Structure 1
Amino acid sequence: MTTARTLTVPAPAPEAATKYFGAELAFEVDPDDLVRDLEAGHTDGYVIVETRAPEAFEAARIPGAINLPYRDMTAETTAHLDRQLVYVCYCESIHCNAATKGALKLAQLGFRVKRLSGGITAWISAGYPVEGAATPGIRCAC
């Protein structure tokens, strides 16, 4: 009998899957969960952080986001941030790693972080609102 390619590597035991997927969700939030929180006014406890360059932030951003380019993150540039909050980092898309770099830098500086899955491209593709001067032509700009 031929094994399906999908099952060439066996699925993990439920306990291992629970640990893995639970950890994944601890690190990421999806656009749908975030927009539902924003629409419901559930904005306590976290800050949305655009990790791309200022010109990208000006062109299009998630409502309520702050701009903190990952390249500029230092102890000095983050000193004003509240360490009790969670910082949800995002960038252009899955093809850009500015959110990952920003989340890493913030974590290294002692902040709790998550990453927005898919970045602003996934956000816009889902039809969620943006602020900014020109939403077309989203680019990495990190």
Structure 2
Amino acid sequence: MTTTTATDSGTITTTATTNPVLRVAPAPPATAAAYLAAQLAFHADVSDVAAALTAEGDPGFVVVDSRSTASWDQGHLPGALHLPTALIAEQAERLLDKSVPVVTYCWGPGCNGATRAALALAELGFRVKEMLGGFEYWAREGFPYETWEGPARKVPDPLTAPVDAEDCGC
């Protein structure tokens, strides 16, 4: 088995390896930094969104739930705007301010609805990020949410949130 490594200067080296992790070598540091910075420009995680929404003052963004009304009623982030993806083209410019970044979410990691909503908003000229984990991880991490019946909150899942700490430290 061989591993191919590309450097920032364009040099390519090949080394033998049986390690499946290194079968494709890590990117050069500058390439990795650019890629990872780009990821952060496109995504926010539920913990960061929750911290920003609960901090004092304006968070500087609006959260958009792109799911159906039935899904919204089942549970949504407090303060989120309900704007199903199918309605973005006709309603976004009336409901949102293009000077305010938008964070979209849908059900969870198994759903790309937040991606479709973010794309539709970006095509209309909005600055967007997706909330990684969606509503599923919001609820699993124990953050409060609202349902058609009123406020709700689940016990944090120890596989997704720290049990005895304020935050995960990342």
Per the normalisation by structure 1, the TM-score is 0.88
Contact 2:98 / 2:126 at 8 angstroms: preserved in 1?
Answer: yes
> Which AA in structure 2 matches 1:11?
P
Q: 2:92 aligns with which of 78, 82, 85?
A: 78
> Which AA in structure 2 matches 1:78?
A
- Is structure 2 residue 89 aligned with structure 1 residue 102? no
Runs of 4+ in 1 over 4 A off after TM superposition: none
> Which AA in structure 1 matches 2:67?
R
- Is structure 2 residue 136 aligned with structure 1 residue 121? yes
> Which AA in structure 1 matches 2:77?
I
Contact 1:61 / 1:120 at 8 angstroms: preserved in 2?
Answer: yes
Q: CA deviation at 1:79?
A: 2.1
Structure with greater proportional strand content: 2
Compute the RMSD of aligned alpha carbons.
1.7
Q: 55-64 or 40-49: which moved more?
A: 40-49
Identity score, percent: 37
> Which AA in structure 2 matches 1:79?
E
Contact 1:45 / 1:84 at 8 angstroms: preserved in 2?
Answer: no
CA distance in 2, matches of 1:43, 1:95: 30
CA distance in 2, matches of 1:103, 1:66: 14
Q: 119-128 or 38-47: which moved more?
A: 38-47
Contact 2:103 / 2:130 at 8 angstroms: preserved in 1?
Answer: yes
> Which AA in structure 2 matches 1:51?
S
Q: CA deviation at 1:22?
A: 0.2
Contact 2:52 / 2:59 at 8 angstroms: preserved in 1?
Answer: no
Q: Structure 2 matches for 1:24-103, cutoff 5 A?
A: 24-74=39-89, 76-80=90-94, 81-103=96-118
CA distance in 2, matches of 1:42, 1:29: 19
CA distance in 1, matches of 2:133, 2:57: 21
Q: CA deviation at 1:4?
A: 1.1
Per the normalisation by structure 2, the TM-score is 0.75
Q: Secondary structure at the match of 2:119?
A: helix
CA distance in 1, matches of 2:140, 2:59: 26
Q: Secondary structure at the match of 2:32?
A: helix
CA distance in 1, matches of 2:130, 2:58: 16
CA distance in 2, matches of 1:6, 1:68: 41
Q: Secondary structure at the match of 1:12?
A: coil
Q: How many residues align?
A: 135
In structure 2, runs of 5+ residues without a counterpart are: 1-15, 154-170
